[in-house]
Amino acid sequence: MKKSALRPLFLLLLVRMLLTPTGHVAASDLDVRALLHDASVAAATIPDREVFEKVAALQEVAGAQAAVGDRDGARASVDIAFRTLAQRSRTDVYRANAVVDLAKASARGDAVELEQFLKRAAASSNFVLDRSQGYALRNLAEALARSGSPGAAIARARGIADASWRQAALGAIAEIEAEAGSRPWVERTVAAASGPTDRALILARVARRWAETGDLPAARWAVAEALRLADEIRTTDWRNAALVEIAKAQVVVGDLEGTHRVASRIVRSGDAWYLVEVLTVLGVRPQTCTVCSNGRSAIRRSHYLATGVSTSGGSLRVHDIRAGGAGP
């Protein structure tokens, strides 16, 4: 770390020591806000050319200021960081991620404050998040959901241009709402996904979360909905991708019979790649599992059709299985 970044970080470390129960000096003996103000001033003196160190230091200070209730101080620290990004940012990707991280650290779970920080970024650094900043927008959507604004989170997620990042954002929101026990918002989040495959995948993910937190009725509902959606998927590859995730959820829920039924559907499809995945999910010896035994035979048949080479009497290697698979 460059020497110019050491002083603000030292001051911040001192403040953190004061705020912890093991601190040797009572926080009341010192003016914590004044210390953090000094840390912010010191961070501001880091040369702009050291943009990563300067922005990181200001982010730490702003987060600490927000934690002790010094909103004005946090805003001032973030504004310095925004101006630095406007002058010295290396790439739009870095700037987008830095803006979101600064806003998250300073807002401390306040959705209104989070949006205000983004407006301050636009005003001070002339930077507005656009649809192409998938990773940053995914993180922003998650932060909004955690701050209690699922509607705003879904709106941000739906605006992401890249389908993969959009799905990742919606999946994160759905998990957060599942943890909060908010089935209506889970349903709205699922409805925002683009089609039956994406919706089934989110529901399978949510089912696992609910099962892990002990809400088995909700988990079973999510599995049933995911299975219903899987029947609407026309492409075998994508349907099998959804079925594998559903099988994982069923294992966590404890529905082993359901898991075997789903596995049998994949076996009948002859898709070697997803056969391997579902056999891994089942995690039992082939001789004790009819589905597993049939799965091994299906893998061999799929491999034979794909390569024209007999696999009888031999073991399949990973690259052999890939040759016979049809995963997306």
pTM of the model as a whole: 0.74
Rounded distance between C-alpha atoms, residue 103 and residue 85, angstroms? 13
CA-based torsion, 159, 160, 162, 164: positive or negative: negative
Which residue is listed with tokens 């759905």? 174
Check pLDDT > 70 for residue 253: yes
Check pLDDT > 90 for residue 116: no
Rounded distance between C-alpha atoms, residue 315 and residue 286, angstroms? 14
Question: What band does 306 get if pLDDT is binned at 50, 70 and 90?
Answer: very low
Burial 46-68 (b: 16+ CB within 10 A, else e): beeebbebbbbbbbbbbbbbbbb
Question: What band does 192 get if pLDDT is binned at 50, 70 and 90?
Answer: very high
Question: What band does 269 get if pLDDT is binned at 50, 70 and 90?
Answer: confident
- Give the closest residue to 151 by CA, choosing from 179, 189, 117, 178: 189
- Say what percent of the chain tops pLDDT 90: 41
Question: What band does 318 get if pLDDT is binned at 50, 70 and 90?
Answer: very low
Question: What band does 325 get if pLDDT is binned at 50, 70 and 90?
Answer: very low
Higher pLDDT residue, 310 or 22? 22
- Say what percent of the chain tops pLDDT 70: 73
DSSP codes, 83-107: HHHHHH-S-HHHHHHHHHHHHHHHH
Rounded distance between C-alpha atoms, residue 217 and residue 53, angstroms? 48
Task: Please state the rounded mean pLDDT for residues 217-241.
Answer: 95
Looking at every residue in the chain, the average pLDDT score rounds to 79
CA-based torsion, 268, 273, 278, 284: positive or negative: positive
Question: What band does 4 get if pLDDT is binned at 50, 70 and 90?
Answer: low
Q: Is 18 helix (H, G, I), strand (E, B) or coil?
A: helix
